[in-house]
């Protein structure tokens, strides 16, 4: 055996172990999602099937309501966050703003603080104004969670826009709003798209804030998963987890196409 082949022994072992560590938990989840019967000490389920899937996705089951609610909240959170973050990102990147560095850091603060104590106090404040257990309340909390990245990515996307094109548009007689709508915004769009996808996923997956603010009316998919898991129903919890897993994996596989290197290089700049 040549040395080159022998070298694949440690490599293969390391990669194999890592593959088991990464995919093992996902595989175990898949087994649970399709297991009809699984008793100790059997290593594998004794019967596979889809009966739990039909229970989860029965026409009147909770899952459809939760899925719909999760999607509604995620779409609203994306819209509200972008409405806040796009002007803010544009101002930070293209306008002179006093104390710009301090402001950029200010948006980072929620990320540098443990969020759970913040959420429980938001819940207390929301309770007094009637926002607890409502869709707008949960949307606002999700916006706070995603705001940092939305603002930073927007700022980076606008910073990467070529100023010469804007100048050309202005020289040809376009007004500032026309220039923004026809030149600046389209050029920044890939970065803003990445930010929107990120916000959508972030909202879809958010658990802790919804747990405190949405309770008890707002049962999003993560809350449904949590309730099923705490109720001891492995199959239903696993199926819900699997449904949540799909967008995350897809996002992981496509993110590089949306986040261009020139935008990435400007993040935080």
Partner 1 sequence: MTRSNTAAIEAAQIRCDPVRRDFWGLLLLAPALALLIGLFAIPAVYSVLGALTGKAGGPSLEHFRTAIGLYGWDIVFTAWLVCLSVAVIALLAILIAGYLTLGANRLAVRALAWLYRWPLFVPMICAAQMMRGFLAKNGMLNNALVASGALSPTTTTSLLDWRGILITFVWKQFPFVTLLLAGAMASLDRNMIEAARDLGAGRLRVLFGIVLPLVRAPLLVGCVLTFVTLMSVLSVPVMLTADSPTMITVDMAYRINTFGDYGTANALGVISYLMTMLAAWVYLREATRERR
**Residue 60: CB minimum distance to partner 1, A:** 24
Between residue 169 and residue 198, which ones bind partner 1 under the rule CB under 8 A? none
Between residue 76 and residue 115, which ones bind partner 1 under the rule CB under 8 A? 83-85, 87-88, 90-92, 95-98, 103, 106-107, 109-115
Q: CA-CA-CA-CA torsion for 38, 43, 49, 53, nearest 10 degrees?
A: 70
Please name which of 183, 185, 186, 115 lies closest in space to residue 148, comparing C-alpha atoms: 115
In whole angstroms, give the CA distance from residue 139 to residue 145: 10
Helix (H) or strand (E) holding 36: strand 35-37
144 binds partner 1 (CB under 8 A): yes
**Residue 134: CB minimum distance to partner 1, A:** 15
**Residue 86: CB minimum distance to partner 1, A:** 9
**Residue 202: CB minimum distance to partner 1, A:** 9
In whole angstroms, how far apart are CA 35 and each of 29, 59, 235? 10, 22, 7
Beta carbon nearer to partner 1, 59 or 114: 114
Q: Are 169 and 182 in contact (CB under 8 A)?
A: yes
Q: Are 213 and 123 in contact (CB under 8 A)?
A: yes
238 binds partner 1 (CB under 8 A): yes
Q: Which of 245, 258, 260, 262 binds partner 1 (CB under 8 A)?
A: 245
124 binds partner 1 (CB under 8 A): yes
Beta carbon nearer to partner 1, 51 or 111: 111
Q: What is the DSSP letter of 45?
A: -
**Residue 212: CB minimum distance to partner 1, A:** 8
Beta carbon nearer to partner 1, 64 or 207: 207
> How many Å separate Cα 8 from the centre of its chain?
37
Please name which of 185, 96, 210, 198 lies closest in space to residue 152, comparing C-alpha atoms: 198
In whole angstroms, give the CA distance from residue 29 to residue 249: 14
Q: Which of 37, 217, 252, 257 binds partner 1 (CB under 8 A)?
A: 252
In whole angstroms, give the CA distance from residue 70 to residue 221: 6
Beta carbon nearer to partner 1, 59 or 129: 129
Beta carbon nearer to partner 1, 36 or 162: 162
121 binds partner 1 (CB under 8 A): yes
In whole angstroms, give the CA distance from residue 53 to residue 118: 36
Between residue 6 and residue 45, which ones bind partner 1 under the rule CB under 8 A? 7-8, 11, 15, 18-29, 31-32, 38, 40-43
74 binds partner 1 (CB under 8 A): no
């Amino acid at each position: 055996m040549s040395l080159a082949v022998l070298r694949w022994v440690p490599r293969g072992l390391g990669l194999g172990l890592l593959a088991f560590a990464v995919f093992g938990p996902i595989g175990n989840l898949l087994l649970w999602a399709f297991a009809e019967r699984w008793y100790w000490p059997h290593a594998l389920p004794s019967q596979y099937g889809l009966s739990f899937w039909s229970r989860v996705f029965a026409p009147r089951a909770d899952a459809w309501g939760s899925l719909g609610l999760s999607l509604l909240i995620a779409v609203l959170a994306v819209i509200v966050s972008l409405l806040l973050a796009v002007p803010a990102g544009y101002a930070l990147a293209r306008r002179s703003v006093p104390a710009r560095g301090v402001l950029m850091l200010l948006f980072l603060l929620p990320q540098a603080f443990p969020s759970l104590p913040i959420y429980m106090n938001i819940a207390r404040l929301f309770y007094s104004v009637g926002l607890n257990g409502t869709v707008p309340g949960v949307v606002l909390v999700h916006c706070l969670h995603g705001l940092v990245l939305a603002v930073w990515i927007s700022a980076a996307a606008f910073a990467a826009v070529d100023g010469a094109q804007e100048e050309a548009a202005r020289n040809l007689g376009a007004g500032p709003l026309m220039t923004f709508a026809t030149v600046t915004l389209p050029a920044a769009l890939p970065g803003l798209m990445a930010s929107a996808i990120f916000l959508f996923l972030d909202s879809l997956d958010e658990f802790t804030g919804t747990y405190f603010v949405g309770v008890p009316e707002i049962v999003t998919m993560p809350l449904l998963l949590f309730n099923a898991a705490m109720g001891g129903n492995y199959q239903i919890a696993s199926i819900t987890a699997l449904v949540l897993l799909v967008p995350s994996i897809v996002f992981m596989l496509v993110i590089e196409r949306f986040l261009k290197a020139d935008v990435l290089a400007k993040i935080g700049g």
